[in-house]
């Protein structure tokens, strides 16, 4: 019982800070997404390809979350957009308090339209934590199981969109894209699903059109 009460208190405080973050993002004119996946799904590469396609037309910034290092931040910066790193140490997810420390950094940038938050690689804990984002986006790759939506339903239920990534590798796996789609929609019938390959470019146009549409640029 004590564990449940402590957990509820932590999430209540997180939600309060997330609400303040959301208000700050709105005041900055930002549409924000929270990218969530297990390690190795290709989130950072997806961000790089997204920036390459829309970075000149859409003013965006990236918050990178990792246990250690600033490697992903440096990768994104090389694409020509501002990025900042949140190093969580042993924490397996970002929370609203961590993200709140980036708001002054965002205010110091030129006016932005889109904020991409790359969460720590984990499909369990991030589902419970609101960061103040407008939308959670789940990412899974064809090198994982097509039953992942059934095994980790919370994140698919909490997300508004799903990116099935690395589709160019499908012939070399036993991943069934249609079954993955069916499993995801069984958990959340409202999911908007994209199939992408950052190697061939397949599906990236639809994904980028979706994002720019959220900022009102479509």
Q: How high is the pLDDT of residue 92?
A: 85
Q: How high is the pLDDT of residue 1?
A: 43
Alpha carbon distance 211, 100 (integer Å): 23
Domain coordinates of the chain in residue numbers?
2-214
Q: How high is the pLDDT of residue 7?
A: 59
- Give the pLDDT means over successive 10-residue stretches in the chain (218 positions): 56 95 96 95 96 94 88 93 90 92 96 96 91 98 96 96 98 98 98 98 97 80
Q: How high is the pLDDT of residue 5?
A: 52
Q: Quick one: tokens of 198? A: 């950052």
pTM (2 decimals)? 0.92
Q: Which residues of 131-164 are buried (b: 16+ CB within 10 A; e: fewer)?
A: bbbbbbbbbbbbebbbebbeebbebbbbbbbbbb
Q: How many CB atoms lie within 10 A of CB 216?
A: 9
CATH code matching the domain that covers 2-214, chosen among 3.40.50.10190, 3.90.1640.30, 3.20.140.10, 3.40.50.300: 3.40.50.300
* SS3 label, residue 124: coil
């Amino acid at each position: 019982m004590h564990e449940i009460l402590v957990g509820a208190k932590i999430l209540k405080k997180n939600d309060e800070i997330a609400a303040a973050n959301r208000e700050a993002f709105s005041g900055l004119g930002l549409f924000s997404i929270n990218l969530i996946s297990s390690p190795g799904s290709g989130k950072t590469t997806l961000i790089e390809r997204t920036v390459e396609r829309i970075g000149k037309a859409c003013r965006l910034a990236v918050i990178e979350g990792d246990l250690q290092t600033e490697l992903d931040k440096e990768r994104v910066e090389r694409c020509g957009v501002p990025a900042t790193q949140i190093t969580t140490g042993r924490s397996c997810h970002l929370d609203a308090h961590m993200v709140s420390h980036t708001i002054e950094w965002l205010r110091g940038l030129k006016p932005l339209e889109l904020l991409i938050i790359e969460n720590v690689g984990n499909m369990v804990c991030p589902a419970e934590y609101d960061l103040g984002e407008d939308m959670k986006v789940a990412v899974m790759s064809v090198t994982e199981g097509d039953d992942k939506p059934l095994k980790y339903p919370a994140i698919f239920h909490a997300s508004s969109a799903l990116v099935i990534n690395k589709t160019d590798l499908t012939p070399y796996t036993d991943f069934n894209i249609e079954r993955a789609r069916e499993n995801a929609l069984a958990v959340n019938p409202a999911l908007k699903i994209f199939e992408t390959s950052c190697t061939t470019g397949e599906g990236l146009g639809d994904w980028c059109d979706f994002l720019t549409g959220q900022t009102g640029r479509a």
